[in-house]
Amino acid sequence: MIKNRIIYMSLILLLMFSVTVFAGSEARIGTAGAQELLIPVGARGIALSGANVADIHGTEAIYWNPAGLSTGRRTEAMFSYMNWIADIKMTYIAVGANVGRAGALGFTIRTLDIGDIELTTTDQPDGTGEYFSPTFLVIGATYSKMMTDRIAFGVTMNLINESVRQLKATGLAFDFGVQYRNLVPGLNFGLALKHLGPDMSFDGEDLEYFVDTGAEPGSKARPARLTLASFDLPVTFELGLGYNYNFTEEHSLNAYANFRNFNLGNDQYMGGLEYKFKSLFSLRGGYLGTQNNDDNIFGPTVGAGIQASLGGNTSIMFDYAYRAVDYFDANQFFSLVFGF
């Protein structure tokens, strides 16, 4: 009874928090900050266009739906690398461990590499010869637990740090997730509310300047400081279904459908298919559409994965995903997972 009450309360709280998400409108598109939170990680989920929140598991689930961390049932270490748009690169490292009845714990580090940018000023619009490199870092801690043999719950706390020369912004974002497996045999349900947190704002020495009042000849300029407006986090609310069909003991097919609502953007819908041969080889494909598809630069996704045993309970998994992109080179994603 106590477990059931906790489950129902968790679902109700997630739905109550989601009310803030549905406040989005066309006029607010592009006004959110901390966009690195929206860059996907993990080649398997990306190959399915993010449609598999219903049954994603292990360390990759920390990003898509933290409830899935506790369904991995072992210790994993994951490394993921991707080439995003405009030569921007993302590196993601995650470690997750199932600690028995207490649940599962996970830790992640995500960094964004934009590269060097030449500094320009109003006096030197062609460049000063000085370069700077913005830094974007997200550090996360996750807790997940199987509440029953079918229902899992998870929460992630992310510490966000952004730095551009002498300007910095720091914030907290929380992800909540629920997975309900085998609603009917083979049918899974997932719910995720992500990037919920207080507004962020930049502050630092680059906002300081001096004002010449001109009140008296020879008077010193007075120091002043700009105050920047705060910005919202890109909150999303997702509902997903997944269905697993086993043709034989060796061959299976997973079908996924997902809906994502943005507080500051167009709604999205995703679908994906995954063919698996035993637990050794997988082929995947997916598609992401938006409420206004003219604003969507991302196309279909495809990918594959292989898994090999290293002896005992140790295994290694390699996943690759490819996503077509308008105006930029296609995205390519690589993930390597060690299981113990």
| Inside any domain, residue 235 | yes
Q: Which domain holds residue 14?
A: 2-201+231-339
Residue 206, domain member (yes or no): no
Tell me the CATH number at 169: 2.40.160.40
Q: What whole-number distance in Å separates Cα of residue 176 and Cα of residue 168?
A: 27
Per-residue pLDDT of the chain (340 residues; tens, 9 = 90+): 555 555 555 554 555 454 444 445 555 566 677 888 999 999 999 999 999 999 999 999 999 999 999 987 688 999 999 888 888 899 999 999 998 888 999 999 999 988 888 888 888 888 888 888 899 999 999 999 999 889 999 999 999 999 988 889 999 999 999 999 998 999 999 999 999 999 998 888 888 777 776 666 666 777 778 888 888 899 999 999 999 999 998 999 999 999 998 877 788 999 999 999 988 999 999 999 987 777 788 999 999 999 998 887 889 999 999 999 998 889 999 999 999 8
> Nearest 5 degrees, angle CA 105-CA 110-CA 115?
170
Within a domain: 30: yes
- Kindly state whether residue 119 falls inside one of the protein's structural domains: yes
207 within domain boundaries: no
Q: Using alpha carbons only, give the angle 136, 141, 145 rounded to the nearest 5 degrees.
A: 145
**Residue 281 within any structural domain of the chain:** yes
Q: Is residue 132 part of a domain?
A: yes
- Give a yes or no: residue 210 inside a domain: no
- Name the domain count of the chain: 1
Closest CA to 200 of 3, 8, 32, 23: 32
DSSP string, 6-43: HHHHHHHHHHHHGGGGGG--GGGTT----GGGGS---H
Helix residue spans in the chain (DSSP H): 2-17, 43-47, 61-64
Exposed / middle / buried, residue 40 (Cβ in 10 Å: 0-12, 13-18, 19+): buried
